[in-house]
Amino acid sequence: MVVTMPPAGSRILVAMSGGVDSSVAAALLVDAGYDCVGVFMRHASPPLPAAEPAHPLAVVSPRPGHQGCCSPTDALDARRVADRLGIPLYALDLTADFDRIIDAFAADYGRGRTPNPCVRCNSWVKFGRLFDHADAIGAAAVATGHYARLDHGPDGPRLRRGLDLARDQSYVLFDIRPERLRRMLLPVGGLGKHEVRARAAALGLATADKPDSQEICFVAPGEHARLVAHRLGGSRSGEIVDATGRVLGRHPGIEHFTVGQRQGLGIATGSPLHVIRIEADACRVVVGPRAEVPETDLIAAEATWLGSPPSEPFECLVQCRAQRTAAPAIVTPLGPDRFRAEFTGGPEHSPGPISPGQPAVCYAADRLLGGGWITG
């Protein structure tokens, strides 16, 4: 493994979210002798109408942690860390960029898909727009606190899982353009979370004990369906049917559902039912037994490959959702930017429910090969 680092003294733009991971990433780079410039990404919260009484089928699933990674409290924490490290910190207003992410998020739900806005944020903003700012200040690289690793070989940069597999975030970095990987630094990718918190505490950083932020920074837990409905001009309500088309009930909006979901269906048939597909044009949610949930194959589009796009079928591991285990599969290219994955591990090595709109990311052991967006 060859790790390419800029020469000591080089200027590095560090995305500082106000969390412990980016705080320690900045501290490690300062300690290594780099000229670090911190940036905090600021965006306005999207407006929402006044809350209406909850629909009986609306599902609220609060998560542990705190709301977002771009709040005023996070900005203050980032400032405290920057002051402790003796580096400048600038707030960048990226509201327009986040509006683009939110619009794509809502549009995906409107098409019956389950989006992953963190991937879009990474490819469009953190390792997209931030390079414009890096260029403006003469920075050699952009650094973040993601749990993933980079090294460089004869065929270019290679992205690998973080050593702490429970925290690995390589999955949400699959869509980064390869030429930008050459100018990325991921300082905490070789550490475990406990080591990161210990380093933060030893340095006296204000974020040492701060809870991790939730996955979606621009909407509170349980509010995504209301945001989507507001963005699309209303809820996409309709029928809940079985695979034969028999109507079993009604739902408040397809934005409440994802493939594989069992809870919150609001119907009783004597046996457990799961969402097996979402028919967006008819605003219909199709349900059935667990065996009918798609888990055997998928088609992905808008593929990004590290290295030359594959031209022949190959065996690898494919991960279909964050926090899931990658499953063995045969991947068949359908052109440079599309592929089919057929899972070969059987029920004991299932990829889990396959949800259109999520990434399908290919790995060889811990090395990320590429990935695409699931279309079916």
Same domain, 37 and 119: yes
Between CA 324 and CA 165 the distance in angstroms is 11
Same domain, 18 and 115: yes
Same domain, 63 and 143: yes
Same domain, 130 and 196: yes
Q: Please report the pLDDT score of residue 58 as a whole number.
A: 42
Cα-based angle 361, 124, 133 (whole degrees, multiple of 5) = 135
Q: What is the CATH number of the domain that holds 122?
A: 3.40.50.620
Same domain, 93 and 191: yes
Give the closest residue to 275 by CA, choosing from 242, 246, 249, 244: 242
> Annotated catalytic sites, by residue?
121, 217
Between CA 302 and CA 334 the distance in angstroms is 11
Same domain, 160 and 274: no
Q: Please report the pLDDT score of residue 271 as a whole number.
A: 86
Give the closest residue to 75 by CA, choosing from 25, 35, 19, 131: 19
The domain boundary residue, chosen from 155, 184, 202: 202
Q: Please report the pLDDT score of residue 60 as a whole number.
A: 39
What is the full DSSP assignment across 75-101?
HHHHHHHHHHHT--EEEEE-HHHHHHH
Same domain, 309 and 343: yes
Strands 35-42 and 11-15: parallel
Same domain, 321 and 279: no
Q: Which domain holds residue 259?
A: 235-292
In a domain, 228, yes or no: no
Q: What is the residue-level pLDDT of the chain in tens, covering all 376 positions?
A: 456 789 989 999 999 999 999 999 999 999 999 999 999 998 866 666 655 544 444 443 433 444 456 678 899 999 999 999 999 999 999 999 999 999 999 999 999 999 999 999 999 999 999 999 999 999 999 999 999 999 987 778 899 999 999 999 999 999 999 889 999 999 999 999 999 999 999 999 999 999 887 668 888 777 889 999 999 999 999 999 999 999 999 999 999 999 999 988 888 777 899 999 999 999 999 999 999 999 999 999 999 999 889 999 999 999 999 989 999 999 999 988 999 999 999 888 999 999 999 999 999 999 999 999 999 9
Same domain, 275 and 306: no
Report how far Cα 318 is from the mean position of its chain's Cα atoms: 16
For the chain, helix, strand, coil in percent to 5 are: 25, 25, 45
Q: Are 57 and 31 in contact (CB under 8 A)?
A: no
Same domain, 261 and 324: no
Task: Please name the helix (run of DSSP H) or strand (run of DSSP E) that holds residue 226, with its range, or none.
Answer: helix 224-232
Give the closest residue to 256 by CA, choosing from 6, 54, 16: 54
Q: Please report the pLDDT score of residue 47 as a whole number.
A: 65
CA dihedral 233, 239, 245, 246 (to 10 degrees): -170
Same domain, 241 and 306: no
Q: Is 12 exposed, middle or buried (0-12, 13-18, 19+ CB in 10 A)?
A: buried
Q: Can you tell me which residue has the tokens 């034969």? A: 244
Same domain, 328 and 247: no
Between CA 101 and CA 115 the distance in angstroms is 10
Q: What is the CATH number of the domain that holds 318?
A: 2.40.30.10
In a domain, 52, yes or no: yes
The domain boundary residue, chosen from 248, 275, 292: 292
- Predicted model pTM: 0.90
The domain boundary residue, chosen from 277, 292, 307: 292
